[in-house]
Amino acid sequence: MSMNLFSIRNGLLLMAIGLTTIVRSQLTVQNTLTPEQLVNTVLAGQGVAISNITLNGQPATSINDQIASFNGANSNIGLNNGVVIATGKAVLVQGPNNYPGLTVSPANPRNTPDNDLAIVTGSMMQRCVAVLEFDFIPVGDSLQFRFVFGSEEYPEYVCSQYNDGFGFFLSGPGISGPFSNNAVNLARVPGTNIPVAINTINPGTPGVFGGNGSSCTSMDPNWQDNSVYYVNNPLGSPTVELDGFTVPLMAGAQVQCGQQYHIKIAICNTTDGQLDSAVLIEGGSFTSTGSLGVSVETPYGGGGITEGCLPAMVTVTRADTVGDVTIAVEYTGTGITPGDLTGAVGEVLIPAGSTSSSFYVGATEDGVAEGTEQLNIQVTWVSSCGFTVVSTATLDIEEYQPMEIWAEDLALDCSQDSVPISIQVQGGLGAISTDWGGGASGTTIYVPGMQNGTYTVTATDQCPKSASTTVHVSAGCELIIPNVISPNGDGSNDTWRISTQSPTGYAVKIFNRWGNEVFSAANYANNWKAADMPDGTYFYLITDEGRGERYSGHLTVVGNGRR
């Protein structure tokens, strides 16, 4: 097998290199499925029942090198994935764009002209024709899919006789057109009946080998306006080999639900067999209105919700906006009963003019250890034709782990101005915030170390649930003040001693019962013996110089020998 590099169309230069030299790029191609498998598992979306698939008039049960699957998620083609049909080997589209013109001839090229393609391209001189056909029954009243057309003819041969083209030829009830079986061509320039081809969608200027533009004008007098649908893919582009291609375009038609239709997807090289072209059709986009989808958005990301916590938002979607539609909703899963759920509606209404409707589903906290459970949310719609369309989303339900806050009370020695108090939070759901009051937050805060304190912290998770605990701080700075002394010289209780661990000292004043100051000390040294003071009741005022705290009370002097 070989491929030919185009240089000059008159044959002055044809080079052959092995297919193995094609470098894997951001757009990738796999030729591992039969056309039948490609249509059923890649191309077909919801709302269509497909049958009788053929390629070039033969059963589509063998792998063919002109049709393959592609992954374009990392490319500039505009389609994430789908089916590619090419005039040469489908591997052609795989980048990078190393060649100004490339031909990768199929193993068994079909050069029999297709009459419908002749109408599109204006020529019966067709080479490397590929024709994929199948029947389908739609569940809704319209058909739609997305596609991109690209070619190695771009941009040099724009407005030339090498007008490679293709068509989506739809026939069936209510369809009336100029093609075989009264078919219409769905591959049209947006807003027109003009077919998509090299000479209708392009950069808007004739190619260097394209003449003066008359060939383009004959197909579409306004062909230059169509440049908005064209993407230039210059030499060296890392993603796609094709030198140019269209933006993603939509093909569609009104159909009758429940009736059988036929579609022919055909593509060819025009005039000669060089410089391949390809059409890429988006995977899953071949759908009929009435297609149904269901998705779940969880409050914390990931794929689940937690019992007793915030619910998930379930969104049901349809393809069109015609009329009110009622969708049945069912909930299944091992061990899951209706009482396990909150907000579990049995049906949802999508009103006319809207494509979706949403509701919330939560899980109740039952206190039973069940591990992770999987909830299946199935939505079902029955079309007016009696077709049943089903879509399912899954949602994990986790058990809630209650929050516990661990903290230790502090017993200090009155030696630190500021001390940290810390907590540890276990359990809970997701990110946890803490609030100590007064704007303080975090798992560690600093508090005064020379005064007693009680501090309450509240932790709140994303459930949201809360838990609180209290931390007690004993500063060790307590003042012990005796209320009686007996200065009788017996060596016991002769001196008024106040006991404290405060490093800052105390100012002391003592007054007699008439309010006269009898003793004063700025930094009391536990040395007052009530000398020469008569027995009786005295009053004191003590000031903590460091903390500014004041203490007052009375003390009794007895046994001093004076009255």
Tell me the pLDDT of the chain (563 aa) as tens digits: 334 433 344 443 333 333 333 443 589 999 999 999 999 999 999 889 999 999 999 999 999 999 999 999 989 999 999 999 999 999 989 989 988 888 888 999 999 999 999 999 989 999 999 999 999 999 888 899 999 999 999 999 999 999 998 999 999 999 999 999 999 999 999 999 999 999 999 999 999 998 889 999 999 999 999 999 999 999 999 999 999 999 999 999 999 988 999 999 999 999 988 999 999 999 999 998 777 889 999 998 778 999 999 999 999 998 778 789 999 999 999 888 878 899 999 999 999 999 999 999 999 998 788 888 999 999 998 877 777 888 999 999 999 999 999 999 999 988 888 999 999 999 999 999 999 999 999 999 999 988 889 999 999 999 999 999 999 999 887 788 999 999 988 888 999 998 766 656 789 999 999 999 999 999 888 999 998 899 999 999 999 877 778 889 999 999 876 55
In sequence order, the β-bridge partners of residue 94 are 240
The tokens describing 413, both together, are: 């020695």
Strand 466-474 with 410-411, pairing: parallel
Evaluate the omega torsion of the peptide bond into residue 238 and state whether it is cis, within 30 degrees of 0: no
Strand 142-151 with 404-407, pairing: unpaired
Query: Do residues 167 and 184 touch, judged by C-beta distance below 8 A?
Result: no
What was the pLDDT predicted at 161? 93
Q: Is 527 exposed, middle or buried (0-12, 13-18, 19+ CB in 10 A)?
A: exposed
Evaluate the omega torsion of the peptide bond into residue 464 and state whether it is cis, within 30 degrees of 0: yes
The tokens describing 471, both together, are: 């931390």
The C-alpha atoms of residue 86 and residue 280 are separated, in whole angstroms, by 9
Helix/strand/coil for 97 = coil
The model's pTM: 0.62
What was the pLDDT predicted at 261? 98
DSSP 98: -
The tokens describing 31, both together, are: 């030729």
In sequence order, the β-bridge partners of residue 169 are 185, 264
Query: Do residues 123 and 264 touch, judged by C-beta distance below 8 A?
Result: no
The C-alpha atoms of residue 232 and residue 245 are separated, in whole angstroms, by 7
Query: Do residues 357 and 348 touch, judged by C-beta distance below 8 A?
Result: yes
Give me the domains of the chain, ranges plus CATH numbers: 3-288 (no CATH), 292-398 (2.60.40.2030), 404-474 (2.60.40.10), 484-557 (2.60.40)
Amino acid sitting at position 162: Y
Query: Do residues 153 and 277 touch, judged by C-beta distance below 8 A?
Result: yes
Task: Supply φ then ψ for residue 267, to 5 degrees.
Answer: -150, 150
DSSP 409: -
Around 495, how many Cα atoms within 13 Å sit in the side-chain half-sphere? 9
What was the pLDDT predicted at 198? 95
Of the candidates 519, 539, 436, 528, the residue with the CA atom closest to the CA atom of residue 487: 528
What was the pLDDT predicted at 4? 41
Of the candidates 298, 295, 296, 297, the residue with the CA atom closest to the CA atom of residue 430: 298
The C-alpha atoms of residue 385 and residue 136 are separated, in whole angstroms, by 14
H helix runs in 302-422, sequence order? none
Query: Do residues 245 and 148 touch, judged by C-beta distance below 8 A?
Result: yes
What was the pLDDT predicted at 545? 76
* Element containing residue 37 per DSSP (H, E): helix 35-38
The tokens describing 133, both together, are: 């056909």
Placement of tokens 């307590």 in the chain: 478
